[in-house]
Amino acid sequence: MARIYEDLTTVVKRSKLALYVLAALIILVLGFYWKIQVLDHQKYWRMAEANRLRELPLTAPRGLILDRQKVILADNTPSFKVSLVREAVVDYEKTIDNLALLLHLNREELKKRIDRYRSLPAYEPIIIMDNLKLEEVSLLEARKDEFPEIKLEVEPRRYYPFGPTGAHLLGYLQEVSVDEIRTQPEKSWRGGEMVGKSGLEKQYNDSLTGREGKILEMVDSLGRPRAEISRTEPQPGHNLELSIDLDLQKRAEELLQGREGAIVAMNPRTGECLVWASSPSYDPNRFISRFSTDEWLALVNDPGKPLENRVIRGLYSPGSTFKIVMALAGLNEGVINEYSTFFCSGAVSLYNKEFNCWFRPGHGNLNLPEAIRNSCNVYFYQLGRRLSIDTIAGYARLMGLGQKTGIDLPGEKEGLVPSSDWKRKFLGQAWFPGETISVAIGQGPLLVTPLQLAYLTSIVANRGLKVRPHLVKGLENSGSGERINLPEATIEKVIEGMWRSVNSQGTGQGAYQPGFEICGKTGSTQLISRETAERLVQRGQEVKKTHSWFTGFAPRHNPEIVVTVLVEFGGMGGQTAAPIAGQIFKAYREKYVRQANLQGN
Residues annotated as part of the active site: 320
Rounded CA-CA distance 178/379 in Å is 59
Rounded CA-CA distance 186/574 in Å is 52
The conformation of residue 131, written as its DSSP 8-state character, comes to S
The conformational region for residue 453 under phi > 0 = left, psi -120 to 50 = alpha, else beta, is alpha
Is there a contact between 519 and 321 (Cβ–Cβ < 8 Å)? Answer: no
3-state SS class at 34: helix
CA–chain centroid gap for 384, Å, is 36
Q: In sequence order, which residues have a C-beta less than 8 Å from that of residue 98 and are 6 or more positions away? A: 147
Is there a contact between 302 and 505 (Cβ–Cβ < 8 Å)? Answer: no
Angle between helices 488-503 and 323-332 (to 10 degrees): 140
Rounded CA-CA distance 555/576 in Å is 21
Rounded CA-CA distance 45/435 in Å is 78
Is there a contact between 268 and 552 (Cβ–Cβ < 8 Å)? Answer: no
Rounded CA-CA distance 49/37 in Å is 15
- Look at residues 235, 56, 66 and name the one whose alpha carbon lies nearest to residue 156: 235
3-state SS class at 233: coil
Cis ω on the peptide bond leading into residue 280 (within 30° of 0)?
Answer: yes
The conformation of residue 470, written as its DSSP 8-state character, comes to B
Enumerate the β-bridge partners of residue 347: 356
Q: Which amino acid is at 388?
A: S
Q: Can you say whether the dihedral through the CA atoms of 501, 243, 174, 137 is positive or negative?
A: negative
Q: Which amino acid is at 57?
A: P
Cβ neighbours around 601 below 10 Å, total: 5
Backbone angles phi, psi at 81, to 5 degrees: -135, 155
Is there a contact between 226 and 244 (Cβ–Cβ < 8 Å)? Answer: no
What stretches of 160-303 adopt beta strand conformation (E)? 173-175, 194-196, 213-219, 225-232, 240-241, 261-266, 273-279
Rounded CA-CA distance 384/586 in Å is 35
Q: Which amino acid is at 312?
A: I
Is there a contact between 153 and 137 (Cβ–Cβ < 8 Å)? Answer: no
Backbone angles phi, psi at 101, to 5 degrees: -70, -45
Rounded CA-CA distance 584/255 in Å is 9
Q: Are strands 65-66 and 240-241 parallel, antiparallel or unpaired?
A: parallel
Rounded CA-CA distance 112/575 in Å is 53
The DSSP-derived string for 172-191 is -EEEPPHHHHHH-GGG---T
C-alpha triplet 285, 286, 287: angle, nearest 5°: 90
